[in-house]
């Protein structure tokens, strides 16, 4: 039962990634997950996606968002797959020319903030996250 980290495939992984993201904190209805490649990274175990993150390289700031893991994973397994996802996301951003990786963390996720600070992340200020549908 090894974990495999890879880029998500359009259509093939769409339903699993969408279901996983919807278990998290983001509730946006009517969004298509059909086109994932090359912006989504997944962790797969026994042909089931158990973690994902969106990595969007841009200049000078790249973005990592929607880090999500399957419910019920052990602490050790969750920590291992989060580390793998974030290392891969950082590599994609760096390869794409990004100088700095940005991402949002909910204010009540104190443990996650601690991990990010331990790895060299800096809080650049409190903010609200807004969504606007582009039609």
Residue 95 is assigned to a structural domain of this protein: yes
Residue 125 is assigned to a structural domain of this protein: no
Count how many domains the chain has: 1
Residue 114 reports pLDDT greater than 90: no
**9-13, 46-50, 122-126: which range is least confident on average?**
122-126
Residue-range definition of the domain harbouring residue 72: 4-118
Residue 123 is assigned to a structural domain of this protein: no
Q: What is the CATH number of the domain that holds 60?
A: 3.40.630.30
Please state the pTM of the whole predicted model. 0.90
Q: Which two tokens stand for residue 97?
A: 């020319």
Residue 129 is assigned to a structural domain of this protein: no
Q: How far, in Å, CA of 39 to CA of 79, rounded?
A: 22
Lateral strand order in the sheet of 40-45: 4-7, 40-45, 48-56, 61-69, 100-102
């Amino acid at each position: 039962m090894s974990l495999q980290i890879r880029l998500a495939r359009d259509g093939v992984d769409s339903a699993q990634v969408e279901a996983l993201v919807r278990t998290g904190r983001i509730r946006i209805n009517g969004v298509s997950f059909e086109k994932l490649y090359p912006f989504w990274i997944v962790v797969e175990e026994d042909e089931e996606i158990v973690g994902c993150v969106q990595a969007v390289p841009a200049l000078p700031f790249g973005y990592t968002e929607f880090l999500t893991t399957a419910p019920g994973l052990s602490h050790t397994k969750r920590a291992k797959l989060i580390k793998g996802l974030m290392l891969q996301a950082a590599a994609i951003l760096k390869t794409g020319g990004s100088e700095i990786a940005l991402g949002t963390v909910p204010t009540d996720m104190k443990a996650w903030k601690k991990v990010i600070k331990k790895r060299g992340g800096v809080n650049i200020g409190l903010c609200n996250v807004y969504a606007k549908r582009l039609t």
